[in-house]
A and B are shown apart, each in its own frame.
Chain A
Amino acid sequence: MKIVAIDTSTKQLSVALSDGKQIVAEASYVTSLNHATKLMPLLERLMVEAKWTPAQLTRIVVADGPGSYTGLRIGATTAKTLAYTLGIELVAISTLELMAASTGHTGRVAAIQDARRGAGFVGVYDAGKRIGEEQHVEIASFVKTLTPDTLVTGDVEAFEEILQPFEKVAPAFRTPRAGVLALLGATRQTVEAHAFEPRYLRLAEAEAKWIEAQRHE
């Protein structure tokens, strides 16, 4: 197997190659950089150094959200176009699951992304299994649903006060890693490349307003 994994869903950019059992190469930019300009040169460099050619690839794994809308589209479009044009498998994995898995913690983990104005995208995983639905919620009400033994990861600094009672993942393990993504995706069910879309978990603002207006009529 020759797997490429791509995550551009948060401000971090991460790319990895894997043979399905091990991580062959992995690189991340942790600071906020322009994913559009960095993704393909980074992937190309890893491929060259690993002496892999695009024609040898067997599977693309992509983190499909939630996350930054623009970031999600860059990763999703790149992944689905690669899978389509190379005629290879495409696997989509939740960004929140990836964040939980990237902590290396085997117990219960809540992954949180800051979506501003007190809200966030959240998902809870226990030993890799999802507990409840991933959603866009008020973080203050979300934390009331968490068990005390839950470890929190992601944008924990944005909600420092609310998350005060919970143990936080060390900063080095808070960012999603494409190497972890590649291994998670090695055995997962594939999706159809043409129909694949990122999971935004939120309507576009204009669409939400339009639906609201319809309801009032």
Chain B
Amino acid sequence: MTQPLILAIESSCDETAAAVVRGGTDVLSNVVSSQIESHKRFGGVVPEVASRHHVERITYVIDDALTEANVTIDDIDAIAVTEGPGLVGALLVGVSAAKALAFAHNKPLIGVHHIAGHIYANRLVQELEFPLVCLIASGGHTELIYMPEDGVYEVIGETRDDAAGEAYDKVARTLQLPYPGGPRIDQLAQTGQDTFHFPRVWLEKDSYDFSFSGLKSAVINAVHNAEQRGETIIPEDLAASFQASVVEVLVTKAVRAVKDKGGRQLLLAGGVAANKGLRQGLEAACAKEGIDLVIPPMHLCGDNAAMIGAAAIHPYRALRYSTLAMNAEPGLDLK
């Protein structure tokens, strides 16, 4: 049986991306046009600016993805697109383009949840074994997801305030690091020591939820107090202390979820999956507990369309197609 070819599109935030994926596992092309240089001057992603860039880039990116995969649109079996969550104006560009392609060539259209995409990025490197637990950490999300089988998602834990990535960005701003601050903190933390001993927030005993706003405030207070006393803060140590708190909580809860749920694998997904401190923490804990840990390579951690193509294969085979009335869903739930 020949494996289906899926053309996937992702435009939920500040990357305009398209990819061609065969059978949900085989990446023939993965084109990402990043807007990060444009948003740097604003210190964060500006939705209206992001949406305008998506319109400029969208067909170039689609065309590059087909060319690099050495296929034409006629070879494609289905069009997949990120339906949500994300910035509504940004999502709408990808959704509009996907619908136009599906209509023009009479191909099935598949709406994909962005987080499902991040999870299935792992399937591009290793076959998934269910049941599994996935830790999602990104600028907008911190979630623990239990998957009893392919295509079935159960959110068992989520952040009650800031996402981990958000806390990183705010701490980076306090340290006046250039945007995007998350990777800079990770870099500084590599050479620093945990000297501040910031609190670890566990919430209720059996909860898989997270809370990072208290930690964020503790870091900001530490910086302000030092300023008032005329002391200098060693940024490397502050970064290392902040990261140690985040990583310990994420790793401990993720490992506990795998044990409680009888998971056969622990997956890491989302932009923060590129974080060295988190990778090292998870690797150490999983080695100790004998848990099969799957982490996508760096280039599949950030937003890309190959992950959307990977996640689309299950709904494609289950004939769960979308209609041309598909909308962008900025607050879409993972079901």
Contacts and interface: CB of A to CB of B under 8 A. Distances in A.
Contacts of A205: 48
B100 A69 contact: no
Interface in B281-309: none
A41 B73 CA distance: 22
A55 to B, nearest CB: 8
Contact of B59 (A54, A70, A194): A194
Contacts of A38: 325
A193 interface: yes
Interface in B100-114: 100-101, 103-106
A76 B52 CA distance: 11
A77 B48 contact: no
A204 interface: yes
B100 A70 contact: no
B92 A36 contact: yes
A40 to B, nearest CB: 4
A205 B97 CA distance: 25
A84 B51 CA distance: 20
Interface string B34-71: 00000001100010110110111011101100000000
5 contacts: A36-B95, A37-B326, A40-B100, A197-B55, A206-B46
Contact of A193 (B59, B93, B103): B59
A216 to B, nearest CB: 15
B63 A84 contact: yes
Interface in A52-77: 54, 69-70, 73-74, 76-77
A76 B323 CA distance: 20
Contacts of B51: 69-70, 73
B100 A200 contact: no
B92 A69 contact: no
Nearest to B89: A70
A205 B48 CA distance: 8
A82 interface: yes
A210 B92 CA distance: 25
Given A36-B92, A36-B96, A44-B324, 16 more contacts: A34-B327, A37-B327, A38-B325, A44-B103, A69-B48, A73-B51, A77-B54, A77-B92, A77-B96, A81-B59, A81-B96, A81-B101, A197-B52, A198-B55, A200-B52, A210-B42
Given A54-B105, A86-B104, A206 B97 contact: no
Q: How large is the interface on A (under 10, 10 to 19, 20 to 34, 35 or more residues)?
A: 20 to 34
Nearest to A69: B48
Interface of B: 41-42, 46, 48-49, 51-52, 54-56, 58-60, 62-63, 73, 88-89, 92-93, 95-97, 99-101, 103-106, 323-328
A174 interface: no
Interface of A: 34, 36-41, 43-44, 54, 69-70, 73-74, 76-78, 80-82, 84-86, 193-195, 197-198, 200, 204-207, 210
Given A44-B324, A81-B100, A206-B49, A73 B106 contact: no
A73 B324 contact: no
A85 B327 contact: no
Most buried by A among B96, B104, B323: B96
Contacts of B41: 210
A197 B93 CA distance: 12
Contacts of A76: 55
| Top 10 A-B pairs, shortest CB-CB distance | A81-B100, A40-B324, A204-B48, A77-B96, A206-B46, A81-B97, A84-B59, A54-B104, A37-B325, A40-B99
Contacts of A80: 55, 58-59
B89 A69 contact: yes
Given A36-B327, A41-B323, A78 B104 contact: no
Contacts of A206: 42, 46, 48-49
Contacts of B327: 34, 36-37
B103 A77 contact: no
Nearest to B328: A36
Contacts of A82: 100, 103-104
B56 A197 contact: yes
B98 to A, nearest CB: 8
Nearest to A60: B100
Nearest to A198: B55
B104 A85 contact: yes
Nearest to B49: A204
Contact of A74 (B96, B101, B323): B96
A82 B324 CA distance: 14
Nearest to B99: A40
A73 B96 contact: yes
